[in-house]
Structure 1
């Protein structure tokens, strides 16, 4: 009974009237069907204390010097709190005249040395100078009906599969202006190296051309290049394609990340940050994309047809710098990255799994438990992130109620199951001004909004991106940030939370702080031609 109660919040039921039975022993009677839908777990139901401790461990590792401030305040207060102003000045004068010049110089030397060690040991600030989001040509734009017609024209799908995909697309939250490659309507196989390279060169070079134009950085100035694409991984690599196309320098540090899902954009960002910390006075470019045609599944299995319905063309390119003099022209400073990996659990590992079906067609199989698995990874990630970003008042209330719950909330009454007081869930809206949540689907965004208690305004960039561009995998968080910039919502000092999740199963967070007010760009922004239509009430 207790197990059933624990699982109840993961499910939602819907009773559907199917009409009157026409034959059989129940002829003439009403018939009903019950649909059971899995939901993200409520974060308020259980919070693992070890992830709270992990968050504080990150905080201590990255800011242990903060612990010395209260100590110095206490010591200084105890020393001078009981003294009058005249006594304080007399005490300072007596202490300075008591020591000779050598002692004073030695003290100053130790002070300067300690201060130098502190500043030298601090990690270099990582600045985001600019970024670009690729916008395909209008001839690749499709409505939802046109998308189904393209699939029908290819001759690869039977009518039940087409009907299933139509239902998914209609309820996905996507609009009628997303982009797909021409090849998906072709009867030939689209998962070829030629098609993959053609699409990769279109989206990657389009985003990079725009980035270099906006930032006025030459390709030869880039010292670090990170490319992430999950499904399409040719030889030579995608990073090598970019180096060859732009004739980049021979000592560039290049990396190509494959198979890491929709959360790979922040993984690439984390790798670029580490490389910038180890290589001073440098620029890094992170390219995030996915190849739609190469991932096109032509089979019958419904769990493998779902990716066909959601993924669309897109690519982002981000320029980072560790040069302190770039502060004046930077847009954002990287504050935190927190990564969570649930791959040790077999169910999480197989939740998004590439394999062949019974007909030997290759595709991505989506587990029916994906919502539950994703919710668990998300809960772990935000619990770890909390101590790094939440105001002290929120942390204090949260930690106190959590300890109270673990120590005194386990009592039971008679035959009833143990009752646990609901823990206090911090208000993340106090930690961030803007939210860029990976636009996976309408259902996922609804559940995230419910669990994190976010407003429609908080979810506006994610819903607009899903509606206008679809699920564009790891690049979606940058289209969302471009939306915020186009709306001129980013002010100096604003904090932006980018949240992604993907196969493995992984959930990753990146936190940025705006170093200046970002004005609406006059060009090179994918939202400029449709900005007045958003937000839309129906999305």
Structure 2
């Protein structure tokens, strides 16, 4: 039986051997091809996917919620808890704040007398978040059911159910959506949320991520007379921003920006940084957020730490070498510190408008011009400090001014309690035509803003 396996004639045996050789050759080629294909797939799956910012929106409240200096002072007098000294202090802070006469405060504050309760806080949260997400879904033509990742941040207001549950319930998101609710992260939380979404998009192919950023004013008004806690009442205003991120290759053609870098710096290991923005009770047991006088200085130090990590990623090699040699010279020979020129790396700057003093510090540290500071100062003037969403109002300002051209690089810088400095670098994928977006919050009044008006405010 075993001999019958072999061919009977010599010629047939030769043919048999040739067929066996071809068979083994084919098998080897097939196995090698499968190996190459599997390695290529592994590389494709493990490589860093590009993250695109498809579009974004900023919430613009209705005109009835505009709050001038006079309206602000009249409303806080009705609360009946502030001393005359505190009222004078608030007025002085307003005059120096850099805020204009048309910022917005929630409906609860504008009532007579103002109201502070959970129901009104939820109402503010739903108003701004549903409003800004509605606009984003309309602009991008993306359905809520298509979104696989949802990240929401709000520092002080943490209701149960959470913000993400509120949004999932309202829009009927799919049951397996990856949802994250960030709190206590301060004004830099928008970039932390983007960083989280970016990392999730790396491992979830063909996905959309929705990032929503806001802060709640209704329930976080300080009703005491501690000066360091009264400042927040004067600076923070109503607003929200929503961003749609994607790792889909097909979105490259319609996306506005590509995320190039995110650098996060945390100075919580230093006590003076950790405590410069601190939520606590005053001597009367009233909860508020205390802002230290050292805040601008701490912000400057955190920015320098952030720059030391970001600089090698974005600066030309010549500037990087000069920066390295300067660091050695400072330590060994007490040389004067060298500040790199970031005009070589970026066309536009969006710096968190935490207040006029912080913007002044950053302007001096980075040696920026008034034109480069205009988006930040204009945002502070028109919308106030809307916490983490402020960066998106600044980017919207640049778009409304028609400054974003294809290939431009935008540097966003944000500061947050803890103390943190986070930055993001975006590259514009196309020239943005201001006339294409009638939902831009600046569209009706952008021509009234100039470089100098905010310094004169």
Q: Please confirm whether the aligned pair reaches a TM-score higher than 0.5, indicating the same fold.
A: yes
Within a 5 Å distance, the mapping from 1:47-446 to structure 2 comes to: 119-185=44-110, 190-407=115-332, 409=333, 420-446=334-360
Contact 1:239 1:255 in 2 (8 A): yes
Contact 2:277 2:290 in 1 (8 A): yes
CA distance in 2, matches of 1:219, 1:162: 46
- TM-score, length of structure 2 as denominator length: 0.89
Alignment length (residue pairs): 426
Which residue of structure 2 aligns with residue 519 of structure 1?
A: 433
- TM-score, length of structure 1 as denominator length: 0.76
Which residue of structure 2 aligns with residue 60 of structure 1?
A: none
CA distance in 1, matches of 2:275, 2:339: 30
CA distance in 1, matches of 2:205, 2:72: 48
How far 1:347 moved relative to its partner?
Answer: 2.2
CA distance in 2, matches of 1:293, 1:120: 45
Q: 1:421 to 1:111 in 2, by over 3 A?
A: farther
Contact 1:155 1:187 in 2 (8 A): no
CA distance in 1, matches of 2:127, 2:110: 18
SS of 2:453 mapped into structure 1: coil
CA distance in 2, matches of 1:194, 1:120: 46
SS of 1:334 mapped into structure 2: strand
Which residue of structure 2 aligns with residue 530 of structure 1?
A: 445
CA distance in 1, matches of 2:345, 2:285: 48
Tell whether 2:429 aligns with 1:504: no
How far 1:537 moved relative to its partner?
Answer: 1.6
Contact 2:296 2:357 in 1 (8 A): no
Contact 1:154 1:185 in 2 (8 A): no
Query: CA offsets, 1:133-170, max 9 Å, x none?
Result: 00000000011121111111222212111110000011
Q: Which of 244-253 and 391-400 deviates more?
A: 391-400
Contact 1:153 1:185 in 2 (8 A): no
Q: 1:431 to 1:186 in 2, by over 3 A?
A: same
- Structure 2 segments unaligned to the other structure (5+ residues): 1-29
CA distance in 2, matches of 1:538, 1:488: 19
- Structure 1 segments unaligned to the other structure (5+ residues): 1-104, 410-419
SS of 1:478 mapped into structure 2: helix
Name which of 360, 374, 377 aligns with 1:460. 374
Q: 1:146 to 1:293 in 2, by over 3 A?
A: same
Q: Which of 476-485 and 116-125 deviates more?
A: 116-125
SS of 1:329 mapped into structure 2: coil
Query: CA offsets, 1:24-59, max 9 Å, x none?
Result: xxxxxxxxxxxxxxxxxxxxxxxxxxxxxxxxxxxx
